[in-house]
Amino acid sequence: MAALTDRGVDPGDIDQIRVRAPLVSVAMEGLSRPYRGDRLHPVNVTFSVPYTLAVYLVAGEVTPRQLTPGYIERNRAELDAMADRITLDHDWSLTADVLAGLGAGVDYGPLLRDRGPVASLRALRQVGETHDSIDTVREVAGLLRSGETRAVLDALRSPLDWERFDAGNARFDNLEFAFGAVIEARVDGERYRVRADEHAGACGRPLSETTATVRRRFEREAGAGFDCVCQAHEQGLSALTRFLSAPGGGTVTER
């Protein structure tokens, strides 16, 4: 959405936004929806793609300053109006990316093999009964029409190739949370489209990138106190280094 705001597009001129996302994002939207009543809580916003986007478009950012009951209550009407213009649809190609990213660290294939196709289909139906935002019959039909069936099946074949499921063998350092999205917006008759696949600081990203992302966000939130915190941190490390370097290896004795 920054591609729109950077071009000076007024959020009020946006006619419609369509977001295509993995199945888990659609499921979270369904979990959040029943709890939206007279009051909209921050957790309802963070579990909702339309409302998170609405906050960004209304405020120009999504930070702890916007995710407060006070801010949401003051801007509820504007947030509701913006969220009503945003639709969320499932995209099987993005779900395949999620499965492949998770399969890099955990092989859940043995679970499916042990349960068998009938039990797996029954479990899928139960998911649909639990989450009213997911119509399992429609999703299976959508998968067959999408042309992504092979991609989904390939994503279910983890390179780990476990004989049986054992979480103790998981390679969490290999996990990739590939929760991408395709955003299409219509503004005064013009159409914009952007695909987001990489999220700075997400699991599976380089540690240096994650460190820089955390530091940048902390500096933004801490404001003027950021330098003080850094100095205290550095002084604490120096004191610890001196202690460990002291004669006797910094041994602590009890009194």
| CA dist., res. 112 & res. 164, Å (int) | 10
Contacts of 36 (CB under 8 A, 6+ apart): 44
Give the residue from 54, 57, 34 showing the smallest Cα distance to 44.
Answer: 34
Q: Where are the domains of the chain?
A: 1-204, 207-245
Contacts of 194 (CB under 8 A, 6+ apart): 3, 182, 183
Kindly state the DSSP code that residue 18 receives in the 8-state scheme: E
What pLDDT is attached to residue 255? 39
Contacts of 193 (CB under 8 A, 6+ apart): 182, 183, 184, 185
Instruction: Report CA Rg, the chain.
Output: 23
| Residues 56, 112 contacting (CB under 8 angstroms) | no
φ/ψ of residue 167, rounded to 5: -60, -20
Domain spanning 1-204, CATH class: alpha beta
What pLDDT is attached to residue 3? 57
Tens of each residue's pLDDT in the chain, 255 residues: 565 556 566 777 889 999 999 998 998 888 888 888 788 899 999 999 999 999 999 998 888 899 999 999 999 999 999 999 999 999 999 999 999 988 999 998 888 777 776 777 677 677 666 666 677 778 888 888 988 989 988 988 888 889 888 888 998 888 888 888 999 998 888 888 888 887 776 766 777 888 888 888 878 777 766 676 666 666 666 665 665 566 655 444 443
What pLDDT is attached to residue 254? 41
What pLDDT is attached to residue 139? 83
Per the rule left: phi > 0, alpha: psi between -120 and 50, beta: everything else, 8 is left
Pairing outcome for strands 190-196 and 86-90:
unpaired
Give the residue from 41, 67, 44, 52 showing the smallest Cα distance to 19.
Answer: 52
What pLDDT is attached to residue 31? 82
| Residues 156, 99 contacting (CB under 8 angstroms) | yes
Pairing outcome for strands 86-90 and 181-187:
unpaired
| CA dist., res. 233 & res. 241, Å (int) | 12
What pLDDT is attached to residue 33? 84
